[in-house]
Amino acid sequence: DSVQTHAPGLGILMLTVTFPKRACTEDCRSKNLIAEMGTKSSDDLSVNSTSRNKRSSGDVPLPGEAKSDRNSGTQPSKVLDLQVVDVGVTSVNLTWRVNDTASESYTYRIEVANGTHVWNKTFDVKEAEITELIPGTKYNFTVFAVAADGQTEGGVSISQYTKPSKVLDLMVADVGVTSVNLTWRVNDTASESYTYRIEVANGTHAWNRTFDVKEAEITELIPGTKYNFTVFAVAADCQTEGEGVFVSQYTSKEPVSLRCIYFLAFPEPSQVLDLMVADVGVTSVNLTWRVNDTASESYTYRIEVANGTSIWNDTSNAKEAEITELFPGTKYNFKVFAVAADGQTEGEGLSISQCTKPSKVLDLQVVDVGETFVALTWRVNDTASESYTYRIEVANGTSIWNDTSNVKEAEITELIPGTKYNFTVFAVAADCQTEGEGVSISQYTSKSQLLAVVFVVAETLPLSDFGFCFNCLSSLSPPWLMDCCFAFPEPSKVLDLQVVDVGETFVALTWRVNDTALDPYTYRIEVANGTSIWNDTSNVKEAEIAELIPGTNYNFTVFAVAADGQMEGEGVTVNKSTGKSQLLAVMFLWTVLCCAAQETFLFLFFFFCAVPSSVNSFQCESVANMSYLMLKWECPYGHYSGFTIKISIDSWVIKEEESRSCSGEGFKTSPLDYFKTYNVTVTTFSNDNTSSPVQKTCKTSITDPPTPETAPVVKVLSHNSLSVEFFDFETLYGPLKAYAVMIITEEEGCPPLKSKLNYTYEDFKKKKTGTYVTYVADTEKAKLPSFRSQNIIDVGKGNTMYGYKNGPLTPLHSYRASVAGFTNISFTAENIIMEEHSYVSFSPCSDKVSLPQDPGVIAGAVIGCLLAILAVVAVGGYIFWTRRRKDKRNTEVSFSPIKSKMIKVENFESYFKKQQADSNCGFAEEYEELKSAGVHQPKFAAEIPENRGKNRYNNVLPYDISRVKLSDLNSVTDDYINANYMPGYISKKAFIAAQGPLSNTIEDFWRMIWEKNIYSIVMLTKCVEQARTKCEQYWPDKQSKTYGDVAVTMVLETVLPEWTIRDFNVENANTQESRMVRQFHFTSWPDHGVPETTDLLINFRHHVHEYSSQNPIDSPVLVHCSAGVGRTGTFIAIDRLIQQIEIENTVDVYGVVYDLRMHRPLMVQTEDQYVFLNQCVMDIIRSQKDKKTDLIYQNTTAMAIYENFTPEPGFGKANGYHA
């Protein structure tokens, strides 16, 4: 019953165990068991064989052996939602869930296989970390739920590559002017299957390159530029990347052309000579130097700047430099090095030190004044001000001297009483030489009070020489010497102080004094304007105070001053404002009383100034729908003869006119060009003199756009629709705001059209008019005339724009079309155009086109004839059809590629079963045939170096033939975005397929949304999947955010189990226009995979279609995932196929995918997605057969969005289309 054996030297032991016949049942049989050995190859293994009935209840049955009835129980369900939640270099983390009620007692066996080995791990919880894996290797993980009694059910599998290890020894092997060669190594055993992604960045752009070997040459680089090269090892699935390793390198500079080069290495430049400070500012220092080297023309210069706390470098290509952004009053050391043409070899440096100038002192004030002193204070904001000293320059008109202070205040002493002094304060840097700009203030010292004057009088001195009368001297005789003490009396106040003349910069004053001693008086005039005070003097009873500020209020106070120059009388004040403009005339008026004749004479004089004043309050305005400008101004002060008006563009004078008046009615210029900016100058003239000119910049009004010379082109689309093709109107007379397409019936020919702008399709159907507006389209940004683009409007589609319905036309009728272009368009409350308030012109009428008969009518008329003919030729037709079919088979073998495989709905189920057989072998063959579709089309725009950094994946580039072009902003590459127009079932541009935005393309993404009139966005990826960024979040969460010229605000967010809907208000900052954009975010679609059930995607598509069908007909639906090809292609294909089933009762999955791939590469990226498309079609057709089509278009989820209705938990979770 037992066998004991071992196999030396082997890692496994093979045993054959045979149970005796006496203990055998019908289940007994031979088994080959493979058991792992112990630590030694010579270990023994014993196997005891007994009857099965003797085994304990806890024994595990042999493989394939059922448990006894006594221990049998319900088998566990398969695990659900098996997912990889984290991937490492040597580990993978898995999670799953189990819905069984007994799942708390389960354990989980995980079978791990990598193609060469298989092993098992056991876990007690619904998650596991599988470790000790090989980097960059594909593993298959199969999870079995194991019940407490050891029973299990089939496992659920998932595959995942581990991350490759980081590359090692990344080095720059060679550097060129426009290229860098890199090498590296990888120790992983799976490295032969790796590819390598190299991210190249230069600070402004980033792009990717892919290589299959452990070396790379990165080309098309910019000379002399620093690049960061980051290398990622990528596993065989082309998705799983290891951690990046980067290296930085400058490319070589462009070679310098020298006259004579006799050496391979650049010689070290000589030291610069005569380094000097040429100029010093508050925050800058200018340096100059010279170099005697013959190669100095190719030198650059590095200037090392140090201030004791920090050091930095500046560069110069010439032998001079201005070092800016320095601190005021700070000492800097500047060291200049000559650098050879290689940018590396430097000569010995030469140094010079210099302090920057201190800033001007602030708030200089006089805080105290005495007879012989003045006290000053000030402040300084410089950080280095603690090291400053201050020089105070003192001047009194006759002498100048300096005083010094170490603090921000000073008392200047030993001054003369009653004297005006000017004090100028300079901040001086720590070198005691470098001074800042001075700030000045003026102040009089106080006057001394005269107490007595001592005169020494000689007998022989005539009394008249004193100018005074001394009564005490008249009785003196004989002559003798005596001391006379005389105190000067205080003068009386001046009388009749008047302002007799006022100018822009002066005021003339007069006054009188009644004192008997008035002859020796002088007069001090104190002038104050609220901000400053100063003094003027006069020896006569009048004064002209000059150098005043025009239009300023002044107080003039006049003091009479006695002969001692100190004793003053009380002041008298008068207030007056200077004139606001130049003085044109001065009048002098006085009277003379003739005592003898008792008559009074009046003298009146006028003096005219030579220069007239400028006009005031000059205004320049455009006049609506007129080409002239209206000018207004106020008359200037004083005398003038007239006004000269000059109108110019830049320096070119267009017109020159004259006006003699300045009435309030204004001056109308002669006609100018519409919508053009002019410089308008008005100058006052008087005789041969002119005033200073007054200038305004004005723009003339817009008007009707120029009438196009060519008529629109009209093409028949169907029995009730046509297309109108036309080019943009010229924008010479203003930017185009809108276009209106007008339909003219054959009866009216081409009548005057402006009066027809308020007629609609309904008016036409009621026979009120034969001409009507069928469509109004807002324009995009106005383009320059040289960039006029073609527009195509489909007429008869049934949509409504503003108050105009684009209704279907009548078969067998003839129509003409005209296009109205508007530079200004106004609407009534009913959104009907108001022609009297709109600026519009019309294109010529098109040629007449006639619509064909309705195909349905034709079919009814001929069906009887066809039946008769069919009966006659049935036999012959059958033979012909059989032969044709054989020929067609032969033809299909010889011609490639196949573009369509149309199948009728009633035949699709048998076709589906046939293709599904043998593990979807038929679908796999079809998908393989699609690989070559469109791949040879050019992608030049995407491969331009400036555009490479705008691509998320370097193998998904838009074809030039269908790429979306944005408007050019600053360069020709600004029109690029990784997106293509995609055909829908009806329109050739029903969709835009785009990659998920990168951080550097979010502004372009919103610019595309605005420029292409997009109202619906379909997002089919999460921003982050499997710890990798798949798409940048390009929308704001709460606060409004601006992307370039577009401001975006989220106004509503509705989160559902499988998708989220967001509404955004999008506003253009330039035009102030806004529109609502809705984003449908499907969150249940794994990358490179398919949704859990078909009904999820079909219901989601229905809600998108229901909303987007209300958008303008020229508004495409923007669809994106991460790359914009796999999930995006599947969604667009589903939309087309559903409409094809509904309208044609046919299906062409192959043809739809082929058509999509002709517009963008890799659309429907995986075979699983292609099979899923066919499964969706199959489920839709089956539901129609079962009369359950309401499931396709049920509005349950829509109600949840808009009416807070919550679906039941089971909704949307069926395994097929049927919910």
Q: What's the rounded Cα separation, in Å, for the pair 597 and 600?
A: 9
DSSP count for the chain of H helices, then E strands = 12, 73
Measured CA to CA in angstroms, residue 73 lies from 144, 148, 536 at distances of 16, 10, 120
793: how many CB neighbours lie within 10 A of its CB? Answer: 24
Task: Please check whether residue 313 is in contact with residue 278, taking contact to mean a CB–CB distance below 8 angstroms.
Answer: no
Of residues 1189, 1179, 1172, 1184, the one with CA closest to residue 1214: 1179
Q: What's the rounded Cα separation, in Å, for the pair 980 and 991?
A: 8
Of residues 996, 998, 995, 994, the one with CA closest to residue 981: 994
What lies within 8 Å, CB to CB, of 923 at 6+ separation is 915, 916, 1167, 1170, 1171, 1174
Of residues 1081, 1080, 1045, 1086, the one with CA closest to residue 1066: 1045
Task: Please check whether residue 453 is in contact with residue 466, taking contact to mean a CB–CB distance below 8 angstroms.
Answer: no
What lies within 8 Å, CB to CB, of 881 at 6+ separation is none
Q: What's the rounded Cα separation, in Å, for the pair 1218 and 336?
A: 81
Give Cα 893 distance to the centre of its chain.
54
Q: What's the rounded Cα separation, in Å, for the pair 18 and 31?
A: 8
Of residues 857, 758, 765, the one with CA closest to residue 807: 765
Burial bucket for residue 521 (CB in 10 Å: 0-12, 13-18, 19+)? buried
1020: how many CB neighbours lie within 10 A of its CB? Answer: 27
Q: What's the rounded Cα separation, in Å, for the pair 934 and 404?
A: 87
Coil vs helix vs strand at 467? coil
Q: What's the rounded Cα separation, in Å, for the pair 995 and 1119?
A: 9
Q: Is the dihedral of CA 1106, 1111, 1112, 1114 positive or negative?
A: negative
Question: Is 24 in the active site?
Answer: no
Q: What are the backbone angles phi and psi of residue 437, rounded to the nearest 5°?
A: -70, 140
Task: Please check whether residue 62 is in contact with residue 15, taking contact to mean a CB–CB distance below 8 angstroms.
Answer: no
Of residues 1125, 1147, 1127, 1126, the one with CA closest to residue 1136: 1147
Coil vs helix vs strand at 210? strand
What lies within 8 Å, CB to CB, of 111 at 6+ separation is 118, 119, 120, 141, 142, 143, 144, 155
Say if strands 1016-1019 and 1117-1120 run parallel, antiparallel, or are unpaired. parallel
What lies within 8 Å, CB to CB, of 1158 at 6+ separation is 933, 934, 937
Q: What one-letter code names the amino acid at 1160?
A: R
Helix (H) or strand (E) holding 1130: helix 1126-1144
Pick the catalytic residue from 698, 845, 1121, 1176.
1121
**Full 3-state SS string of 103-159:** HHHCEEEEEEECCCCEEEEEECCCEEEECCCCCCCEEEEEEEEECCCCCECCCEEEE
For residue 897, cis peptide bond before it (omega within 30 degrees of 0):
yes
Q: What's the rounded Cα separation, in Å, for the pair 366 and 769?
A: 88
Q: Say which DSSP state 667 is in.
A: E
Q: What's the rounded Cα separation, in Å, for the pair 25 and 373?
A: 132
Of residues 123, 119, 117, 116, the one with CA closest to residue 82: 123
Residues annotated catalytic, as ranges:
1121
